[in-house]
Structure 1
């Protein structure tokens, strides 16, 4: 078994037999390994999702939830050591990048 490389994760997936056979054939026709074909498929999936109309809003909501949970955990840890914050911190607003068209206006 090979040693894990830093910055690389291993993913194991289960495919129906027919899909696996098609996937294997397509990778062979393209003369690439199944690992490279799977990487390309994941990259395409991520790129496709990024283009969805509501994706940025859903990602922002997820980030805000992470920040709320982190603040709650921080408060719990501080409470363990008798530190009580004056008031709970509100999550800091995230900055949005301007598109090239809106920067030139």
Structure 2
């Protein structure tokens, strides 16, 4: 995978133990590549190995479904702020904790 030409890149800073850094530097030098290129190759190999795992697709699908649930809840909350549409009902585990003053009849109030 080559570096994107449109500049959409992220910088990653990592801490390595001295011995591993020395080995990594030596391997990159022997291959005639920069540490950045070597790190990029390592990340590409890691991603490829994870994709090959038998349960990866199921875990990715579950993560996507969670993202969609969170987005729907946030969309409903924003729509509710403007009164266009009432917010969609939150799932019980997703409802925010209630805050505020207790009613005067509450036992703890």
TM-score under structure 1 normalisation?
0.75
* Map 1:5-84 → 2, pairs under 5 A: 6-84=7-85
Q: 1:32 to 1:44 in 2, by over 3 A?
A: same
Distance 1:21 1:39 in 2: 17
Q: Which has the larger radius of gyration?
A: 2
Uncovered stretches (5+) of structure 1, i.e. residues with no partner: 89-105
Deviation at 1:73, TM superposition (A): 0.2
RMSD: 1.6
Once the two structures are superposed, residues 27-80 of structure 1 have per-residue CA deviations (whole angstroms, 9 ceiling, x without a partner) of 011110000000000000000000000000000000000000000000000010
| Distance across 1 between alignment mates of 2:87 and 2:44 | 45
Distance 2:67 2:84 in 1: 22
Under a length normalisation based on structure 2, what TM-score does the superposition of the two structures give?
0.72
Task: Give the Cα separation in 2 of the matches to 1:6 and 1:86.
Answer: 38
Shift of 1:85: 4.5
Q: Which runs of 4+ in 1 moved over 3 A?
A: 85-88
Number of matched residues? 84
